Structure 1
Amino acid sequence: MLKRLIFLLLTVLIVSGAIAQQQIRIQCTNQYEAPIDKLTVTIAGQTTSYSPDNLGFTTITVDPADSLIINAAHHEPLTVAGASLKEGQVVVLEKKFTWKDLLNPMFYIVYGGLFLLLFIVFAETGLFVGFFLPGDSLLFVAGIYSTNLVDDLFRKFGFEGVRYEWLDLFILIALISVAGILGNAVGYWTGRKIGPTMFHWRDRFLFKKKYLYDAHDFYEKHGGGAIIFARFLPIVRTFAPIVAGIVAMDRKKFSFFNMVGCIAWVFSMIIAGHFLQKWIFTQFDFDLKKHLEIIVLGIVVVTTAPVLIKLFSGRKKEKVSQPPTK
């Protein structure tokens, strides 16, 4: 009789435990909204590995009474209660910082928001040290998250309410354009200050006064176009206004093309990010937010390819034009 009672009790416990357990589909991302490929779930000391499906969801078996530790490589472990997980819930794991994050535009949006974005645009065009910052990709991603950025701005100043989509875009484009125009103006002013002294420097291995005179002639002929197109070229956009100041490009001419180039650059990048994200998601069900690394790589290739092509084609022409040696 006692054996039957024990067997019955064990059966009840096993059945009740099986009923308590349930399968839940969750989506794991990090703070940059990048999907996590592989994760582990630890329950009562037992660890199970999971991989997401094609839609980015992972189906895990949980008991509402248990506590789970969700972890992934290079991420901080997250402890959650089984009862708190819901079907289709997005679980965010904190990615550990690496120096590669500085090249990720989402790093600046997550940790600095609009104010850090404005400073980066200013620094990339106005300070020598800003050449490594991700200007193009950052503006493209800012276009995707335009509503979030402007919402955060209004919330900080205590203004909340219904706004139109075009108003958010206008505010974002206007603020970033002002930051970029001021950045270029600072670069030009810096060049004007150091320019006269540089013309008295002695020729060195990396410096020739001939380069300054060549740059002066170039800016006299193509200065306006150079200031505009430099906006769309990484690294070049940092040094173009400084060189314009060094060779004493006309201030009014520089100011005009500085505004035109900056507004064109900011407008095209923000609008492309905002509407291209919606169009691609609607047409192909492809969320650019989850594949930002592709965006960054694509923009880098598109913006640097013309410079590299021009550089290498120029070298080939120079070699061909050299007379043969006897």
Structure 2
Amino acid sequence: MDISHALAGFGSFALVLVALIVFVENGLLFPFLPGDSLVFAGAIIAAAIGVHWGVVAGVAGVAAIIGGEVGFALGRRYGRRLFRPDARVLKQRHLVETERFFARWGSSAIVLARFVPIVRTYVAPAAGMSAMSRGVFTRWNIISGVMWAGVLGLAGFLLGSIPWVATNIEWIMLGIVVITIAPVAVTAVVRSRARSHPSGS
């Protein structure tokens, strides 16, 4: 079975899935979702089935922008109470690293962070905890969301337009899935072993 035709059958559901995952990664502070690779893969598939890449990029961009606004609001309302040293997801060390990134690059960190896994999840709440106004954040948030989705969408579309890629999309997708899942799986294994063999025991 041709995977391109199978994926085409998902239609709007696939776009909803892209939007949901991108929103959760950016807005609900869950950094291990595959936002980058999902948008990239979505654009590759779009090229293979004849859908304009701008549709995928547009959906992802809007979801990223809305997610950023939610993350900013959470940071402003709850502050550092969201993060704990022993947390599984919202770790204080990730927040500290993001705050250093933010302090170094200023407002432009909102744009740069979009292209850095983990950091992009925490930059919005970090901005909310800072003295940055909502208006300034929103302006940079929109710019960063459009750039991020546009770059990934166009790159995926151009790659998907290559005949070899179009005819081997099953293997391309498998590779993207492996690359996406591997870091999360490795992290889970390392943490599991660390809990099983605590230092000094």
TM-score category of the 2 structures, normalised to the smaller one:
0.5 to 0.7
* Same amino acid, percent of matched pairs: 30
Flag the 1:218–1:138 CA change in 2: closer, same or farther, 3 A: closer
Flag the 1:279–1:178 CA change in 2: closer, same or farther, 3 A: same
1:185 aligns with 69
Report the Cα offset of residue 286 of structure 1: 5.5
1:97 aligns with none
Counterparts of 1:257-296 in structure 2, within 5 Å, are: 257-279=140-162, 281=164, 287-296=168-177
Residues in 1 aligned to 2:92 and 2:68: alpha-carbon distance in whole angstroms: 23
1:6-54 Cα shifts (integer Å, max 9, x gaps): xxxxxxxxxxxxxxxxxxxxxx67xxx49xxxxxxxxxxxxxxxxxxxx
1:90-126 Cα shifts (integer Å, max 9, x gaps): 9x9xxxxxxxxxxxxx8xx799411121111111100
Question: Structure 2 unaligned runs (5+)?
Answer: 183-201
Residues in 2 aligned to 1:207 and 1:141: alpha-carbon distance in whole angstroms: 31
Q: Does 1:241 pair with 2:141?
A: no
Q: TM-score, normalised by structure 1?
A: 0.44
2:26 aligns with 125
Flag the 1:148–1:240 CA change in 2: closer, same or farther, 3 A: same
SS of the residue 1:131 aligns to: coil
Flag the 1:134–1:111 CA change in 2: closer, same or farther, 3 A: farther
Give the aligned length: 174
SS of the residue 2:162 aligns to: helix
Residues in 2 aligned to 1:292 and 1:207: alpha-carbon distance in whole angstroms: 34
2:39 aligns with 139
Confirm or deny: 8 A CA contact 1:220 1:249 kept in the other structure.
no
Report the Cα offset of residue 288 of structure 1: 3.1
- The CA RMSD over aligned residues, in Å, is 3.9
Residues in 1 aligned to 2:55 and 2:133: alpha-carbon distance in whole angstroms: 30
Report the Cα offset of residue 221 of structure 1: 5.1
Report the Cα offset of residue 300 of structure 1: 8.4
2:191 aligns with none
Residues in 1 aligned to 2:57 and 2:92: alpha-carbon distance in whole angstroms: 38
Q: Which letter maps to 2:168?
A: D
Q: Does 1:115 pair with 2:16?
A: yes
SS of the residue 2:40 aligns to: helix
Confirm or deny: 8 A CA contact 2:47 2:157 kept in the other structure.
no
Residues in 2 aligned to 1:147 and 1:204: alpha-carbon distance in whole angstroms: 44
Residues in 1 aligned to 2:70 and 2:175: alpha-carbon distance in whole angstroms: 33
1:44-84 Cα shifts (integer Å, max 9, x gaps): xxxxxxxxxxxxxxxxxxxxxxxxxxxxxxxxxxxxxxxxx
Of residues 58, 81, 87 in structure 2, which corresponds to 1:174?
58
1:181-238 Cα shifts (integer Å, max 9, x gaps): 010000001000012x75xxxx988869xx59x93x7635523232112111222211
Residues in 1 aligned to 2:17 and 2:148: alpha-carbon distance in whole angstroms: 18
Residues in 2 aligned to 1:235 and 1:113: alpha-carbon distance in whole angstroms: 24
Residues in 2 aligned to 1:221 and 1:247: alpha-carbon distance in whole angstroms: 14
Q: TM-score, normalised by structure 2?
A: 0.67
Q: Which letter maps to 1:123?
A: V
Q: Work out which of the two has the higher radius of gyration on C-alpha atoms and give 1 or 2.
A: 1
Q: Which has the higher strand share?
A: 1
Report the Cα offset of residue 172 of structure 1: 3.0
Q: Which has the higher helix share?
A: 2
1:115-160 Cα shifts (integer Å, max 9, x gaps): 12111111110002x32211111001110223789xxxxxxxxxxx
- More relative contact order, 1 or 2 (CA 8 Å, 6+ apart): 2
Confirm or deny: 8 A CA contact 1:192 1:246 kept in the other structure.
yes
